[in-house]
Structure 1
Amino acid sequence: MPTIRRLQPKGEMLEIERKLFDEFKRANPLLIEHHQPLDDWDYLTLGQHFGLPTRLLDWSNNALTAMWFATKGTSLESDHVIVWIIIADEKDFVSPADEDSVFTSSSTKFFNPRLIKQRINSQSGVFTIFSSDDLLKGNPLNENLYYKDKMIKVKIPHRHIRNIQTELNTLGINAFSIFPELEGLCSHLQWRYFER
């Protein structure tokens, strides 16, 4: 489920979503201008990457990147982590150029964002954009009648996570390659030089 669905809005969800999005665009254009957003799809992408609760769900076209996200910062509340694999067809993707609004898709689709932030490129980022109906009903993607047969659930036992993270680092997949900024460098150095 996308972040906005996992939170409790102070009012009707779709109304709050619009207010949140409009305020994100209005509040401080100087913070956003240098990313050169062209349309609401770009604004939604930026909001998602900076922590704005949106109807987007992150995916990666890179299996190693997906594995890194699944194993980073894992808690021991369960005995495994999960990686979801989806076999999406071309018809499963929306073309932002063909859609009037990020809020009006009649079905949940995928979309490839413009590379307006290096992080999107580094993570081989792609998104699911939930339809308003699926968002309001709280339908997780793996229970969506259309997508559920296109998804594979992979469980990774916790005992393998440290080895997987070490092997991913050897292959160049770590916090700094995923987040090529100071934040990512510092996170990678902490992982490298301190016990987990």
Structure 2
Amino acid sequence: MNEFTVESFEEYLTKVRDSLGVVEKNGKRVRRYFRGQSKRAFEGYDLKPSIGRYDHLSGLPPAERDRLENEVLETFGNHLLTYVNHLPRNDWEALAIAQHHGLPTRFMDWTTNPLVALYFACRESKKDKDGNPLDSAVYVLISEPPRYSELRRQQKNGGAKVAESETAIAVAGDEDGYDNYELDEEGEPPVVVDDELETATIARPRSQSETAKEGDPSPFEISANVIYDPPHVSPRIRAQDGVLLACHQPMLPLEEKDVLEIVISHAAHDDIRRRLDQYGVFDKQLFPDLDGIAKWLKYRVFEINGMT
């Protein structure tokens, strides 16, 4: 895994801007995706979805794991009507809601905003078993997986499943997610809005057989990782510029060739937290609810001097 180590907020901005830059394929821009972790992958927190962290599932045949995932999702879906105003249209939206509420799924959380990833990398500093402070990391997805919207169009047009060797699907439009990620004139971080993010409005969820007949791919049948732009089931998703990576092998970590690691020195965490707070990328902005206000006050009152 290629890695860089940064010692300051400014160095991180420079590394993202200069080293990652704007990637173009066939004249179209390709969006990068970022994931912040308070523990680095080599410290035991592998880059894999939450369901892949249950070791006892590794011993199950893939078909049995898929069956288990489907049964759990069906049970979850049966309870949705009591709690939501709009039911999911397919398994992708149902899994996104389940992921948002903490159910282990084959989805991984990523963001198009590198400052949001930096927040998750530095918000809470961790220590090893001996009490020594740990560096954190921001991971950049460089494998350029195709997007669900394009995969869906391909299948409806009679195309085959996306293969491992397929090239990246470029992002439509002029936004690349990080052209102007530093600050605007008001000191606020930019918000990347995707026109494909829609709220489900259909009156009931459709079964796998129904979606298959209509040409929709299933997250349980993909043959490569796929980027999915989730519907706005929560203000947090929009505030965090969130996207989901659907993993076709959820028990395995991402391959090293697929990601770049930006190591954030633990000595820089305190200053980075202050800078992010000043720039409007902190608790109450990224968690626009009472939880976010409580986290923000906790930081301002009790943690501002580095105390935990």
Normalised to the residue count of structure 2, the TM-score between the two structures is 0.56
Map of 1:14 onto structure 2:
66
Q: Choose 1 or 2 for highest CA Rg.
A: 2
2:111 pairs, out of 34, 38, 60, with 60
* Letter of the 1:62 counterpart: N
Aligned residues: 185
Aligned counterparts, 1:13-92, within 5 A: 13-31=65-83, 33-77=84-128, 79-87=134-142, 89=144, 92=146
Paired residue for 2:283, among 175, 182, 192?
175
**Which residues in structure 2 correspond to 1:120-159 (within 5 Å)?**
120-131=237-248, 134-135=249-250, 138-143=251-256, 148=257, 150-159=258-267
Amino acid at match of 2:285: S
1:87-124: per-residue Cα shift (whole Å, max 9, x none)?
354x6222274433221111112121122321110010
For residues 3-25 of structure 1, give each alpha carbon's deviation from its aligned partner in whole angstroms, at most 9, with x where no partner exists: 00102457643222112111111
Q: Give the aligned residue type for 2:236.
A: R
For 1:51 and 1:57, the matched residues in 2 are separated by 12
SS in 2 for 1:82: strand
The aligned amino acid for 1:83 is V
Structure 1: distance between partners of 2:222 and 2:119: 31
| Alpha-carbon spacing, 1:117–1:28, altered in 2? closer, same or farther (3 Å) | closer
Tell me the C-alpha RMSD between the 2 structures: 2.0
Instruction: Pick closer, same or farther for the CA change 1:56–1:47 going to 2, 3 Å.
Output: same
What amino acid sits opposite 1:49 in the alignment?
H
In structure 1, the partner of 2:185 is: none
SS in 1 for 2:280: coil
118-127 vs 92-101, which deviates more?
Answer: 92-101
* 2:118 alignment partner AA: M
Q: Which runs of 5+ in 2 are unaligned?
A: 1-47, 154-215
Contact 1:35/1:116, CA 8 A, preserved across alignment: no
Counting aligned pairs with the same residue, the percent is 29
Letter in 2 for 1:167: R
Are the aligned partners of 2:125 and 2:134 in contact in 1 as well (CA < 8 Å)? no
Contact 2:80–2:87 (CA under 8 A) maintained in structure 1: no
**C-alpha distance in 1, partners of 2:80/2:148?**
29
What SS class does the counterpart of residue 92 from structure 1 fall into?
coil
Change (3 A) 1:112 1:88: farther
Of Structure 1 and Structure 2, which has the larger fraction of its residues in helix? 1
- The aligned amino acid for 1:154 is I
Q: Is residue 107 of structure 1 aligned with residue 224 of structure 2?
A: yes
Task: Deviation per CA, 1:135-165: give whole Å up to 9, x if none.
Answer: 2xx331133xxxx2x5210111111111101
State the Cα distance separating 1:169 from its structure 2 match: 0.5
CA distance in 2, matches of 1:108, 1:151: 13
Task: Select the structure with the greater relative contact order (CA < 8 A; seq sep ≥ 6).
Answer: 2
Unaligned runs of 5+ in 1: none
Partner of 1:94: 148
**CA-to-partner distance for each residue in 1:58-90, whole Å, 9 max, x for gaps?**
00000100000111223112631011012354x
CA distance in 2, matches of 1:139, 1:173: 31
Q: Following the alignment from structure 2 to structure 1, what is the Cα–Cα distance between the partners of residues 245 and 221? A: 14
Structure 2: how far apart are the matches of 1:156 and 1:61?
18
